[in-house]
Amino acid sequence: MGSILENAKRLVVKVGSGLVTNQGQGLDHAALSRWAEQIAELRHMGREVVLVSSGAIAAGMQRLGWKKRPHALHDLQAAAAVGQMGLIQVYESCFRKHNLMTSQILLTHEDLADRKRYLNARSTLRTLLGLGVIPIINENDTVAIDEIRFGDNDTLAAMVTNLIEADALVILTDQAGLYDKDPRRDASAKLVSEAKADDPDLERMAGGVGSRIALGGMLTKVLAAKRAARSGAHTVIASGREENVLARLARGEKLGTHLIAEKATLAARKQWLADHLQVRGSLVLDAGAVKALRVDGKSLLPIGVHEVNGEFERGEVVSCLDESRREIARGLVNYSAAETRRILRTPSSEIEARLGYIDEPELIHRDNLVLL
The pLDDT of residue 163 is 87
d(CA 310, CA 279): 10
- The number of distinct structural domains making up the chain is 2
The amino acid that residue 34 corresponds to is R
From 252, 270, 288, give the residue that closes a domain.
Answer: 270
Residues 228 and 318 in one domain: no
Q: Could you give the dihedral angle defined by the CA atoms of residues 137, 81, 143 and 117, in that order, rounded to the nearest 10 degrees?
A: -30
Within a 10 A sphere around the Cβ of 85, how many other Cβ atoms? 14
From 237, 270, 303, give the residue that closes a domain.
Answer: 270
Give CA separation, 210 vs 133, 190, 207, 214, 235, in Å.
41, 21, 8, 7, 25
From 241, 270, 299, give the residue that closes a domain.
Answer: 270
The answer to the question of residue 2 being in a domain is no
Overall residue count recorded for the chain in this entry: 372
Print pLDDT tens along the chain (372 aa). 678 899 999 999 999 888 998 876 789 999 999 999 999 999 999 999 999 998 888 889 989 999 888 888 889 889 989 999 999 999 999 999 999 999 999 988 777 766 677 778 888 999 999 999 999 999 887 776 654 343 578 988 998 998 888 999 999 998 899 998 877 778 888 999 999 998 888 988 887 543 333 334 888 899 999 989 988 899 999 999 999 999 999 999 999 999 999 876 666 667 667 665 568 899 999 999 999 999 999 999 999 999 999 999 998 889 999 999 999 999 999 999 999 999 999 999 999 999 999 989 999 999 889 898
The pLDDT of residue 213 is 35
Contact 222, 178 (CB under 8 A): yes
The pLDDT of residue 183 is 78
The pLDDT of residue 212 is 37
The answer to the question of residue 338 being in a domain is yes
Residues 61 and 34 in one domain: yes
**pTM, to two decimals:** 0.75
Residues 188 and 141 in one domain: yes
Residue span of the structural domain in which 289 resides: 277-371
CATH number of the domain where residue 338 is located: 2.30.130.10
Residues 266 and 202 in one domain: yes
| Backbone phi, psi, residue 281, to 5° | -175, -170
Residues 263 and 315 in one domain: no
Nearest alpha carbon to residue 13 among 205, 197, 196, 224:
224
Helix H segments across 114-264?
Answer: 115-130, 145-149, 153-164, 201-206, 212-216, 218-229, 245-250
CATH number of the domain where residue 243 is located: 3.40.1160.10
The answer to the question of residue 148 being in a domain is yes
Residues 54 and 167 in one domain: yes
Residues 288 and 216 in one domain: no
